Structure 1
Amino acid sequence: MTSPPDHPPTAGSAARPAVSDADLLNRHIAGDPHAFGEIVKRHRDRMWAVALRTLGDPDEAADVVQDAFVSAYRKAESFRGEAAVTTWLHRIVVNACLDRMRRKSVRPVADDELIEAAERDAPHTDQTGEREISLEVTAALKLLPADQRAALVLVDMMGYGVDDAASVLGVPPGTVKSRCARGRAKLAPILSHLRNRSDLTRVSSAKGAELRDA
């Protein structure tokens, strides 16, 4: 899978091509006071979605996105065009999320502790609605190690291919596959009470489409 386009085409784009993200970044570096603001408008919702899914906390996600865009603004000249601007922005946001999670993490959580936490916090009512299932998946993700959580968010929720996720995370594709596999293995017993796997798959797919379109 190739890197996602910098910006999706809009209606009428064939007659009047939109300015690419890379061009906007170059304009910003050249001193255009409005160029970076346009980049923020295009991508803040998607960056917010990544941060929120990775951190599971709206306030922390907002702080991370703000800090990430400030960092991107200041370090724009470091962009070398080796990947799409969106991939570069994702890398800054995800790294900020990982740094925050690692600072808060005191020690690794054992698999049996993950299951115990899920059983303790699992609702006792029949969870059949898509929102309830989505909330449970988000809560379960928060129990995973930071690296596994970030890989699963990119691949399973944001729809990135393994190669693209590897570019964002700065690791080999095999590492992304391994982290996803370990994360899914840990999530399986935590979410075992969601017996209807087709519903879970449908929710995950719908949520991923929703975030990709954000």
Structure 2
Amino acid sequence: MITSVLPAPRATARAAADASATAWALAARDGDPHAAEHFVRALHGDVLRYVAHLSGDPQTAQDLAQDTFVRAFASLPRFEGRASARTWLLSIARRAVADSFRRAAARPRQADTHDWQAVMERAQPCGLPGFDDGVALLDLLEALPDERREAFVLTQIVGLSYDDAARFIGCPIGTVRSRVGRARATLERLLAEADCPAVRAA
């Protein structure tokens, strides 16, 4: 028997990964602790990227991801696998971020001081490879309208298909494609402006 050594198309690989994650979620729901571990490992990276970009605060991303999985395991008995576990989990992540915004808005503001800012800036791992690029990307994404940013992050960073993103957001697939296209055009324009010497000097 001849086995192909060519890599599977991205869409096929993503569908297989989604099917595996959903199967692990269902097994975890039925009490398999090993399946629960596989479920978390399979989707932790996607959740972390999504909450970091949705919240615009990479410093709290780990806490938001943890909150997402705590909520997911509490809701797991009601998960029936009608949607993929990835889509189901990202919807929980979206609610976790929204709740964190509401809590922050209700929290009393601390006294204005610059000391904590200096401490936080010194604590940043700026020497890590890719750190500056990641901060620059977050800054660029912040310039996008919320709807375009979410569509771009879901399809271009998290890796959902346009169809899955449309179901997740709750809009037609053509709307998702339009939002991603406009987001990409805006990002390309911003990158071109950043390369302009006058902008760098300013």
TM bin (shorter chain):
0.5 to 0.7
Q: Matches of 1:36 and 1:92 in 2, distance apart?
A: 17
Q: Deviations over 1:79-99 (max 9, x none)?
A: 332332222222322443356
Distance 1:178 1:95, change over 3 A: farther
Task: Give the deviation of 1:141 after TM superposition.
Answer: 0.6
Decide whether the 8 Å contact of 2:22 with 2:86 is kept in 1.
no
Unaligned runs of 5+ in 2: 1-10, 106-128, 197-202
**8, 15, 19: which is aligned to 1:5?**
15
Q: Matches of 1:154 and 1:148 in 2, distance apart?
A: 10
**1:88 and 2:98 equivalent?**
no
Distance 1:74 1:87, change over 3 A: same
Higher helix share: 2
Unaligned runs of 5+ in 1: 9-18, 106-128, 197-214
TM-score (norm 1): 0.59
Q: Matches of 1:104 and 1:180 in 2, distance apart?
A: 29
Decide whether the 8 Å contact of 2:151 with 2:165 is kept in 1.
yes
Q: Deviations over 1:101-121 (max 9, x none)?
A: 68879xxxxxxxxxxxxxxxx
Q: Matches of 1:157 and 1:20 in 2, distance apart?
A: 20
Task: Give the deviation of 1:195 after TM superposition.
Answer: 4.3
Task: Give the deviation of 1:72 after TM superposition.
Answer: 1.1
Matched ranges for 1:22-171 at <5 A: 22-97=22-97, 100=100, 132-171=132-171
Task: Give the deviation of 1:31 after TM superposition.
Answer: 2.8
Q: Matches of 2:147 and 2:49 in 1, distance apart?
A: 17
TM-score (norm 2): 0.62
Task: Give the deviation of 1:163 after TM superposition.
Answer: 1.0
Q: Deviations over 1:126-168 (max 9, x none)?
A: xxx9765553232111233332211111222233331121123
Distance 1:75 1:69, change over 3 A: same
Decide whether the 8 Å contact of 1:5 with 1:84 is kept in 2.
no
Rg larger for: 2
Matched ranges for 1:171-186 at <5 A: 171-186=171-186
Whose RCO is larger (CA < 8 A, sep 6+)?
1
Q: Matches of 1:177 and 1:95 in 2, distance apart?
A: 24
Q: Matches of 1:159 and 1:175 in 2, distance apart?
A: 17
Distance 1:186 1:169, change over 3 A: same
Count of paired positions: 163
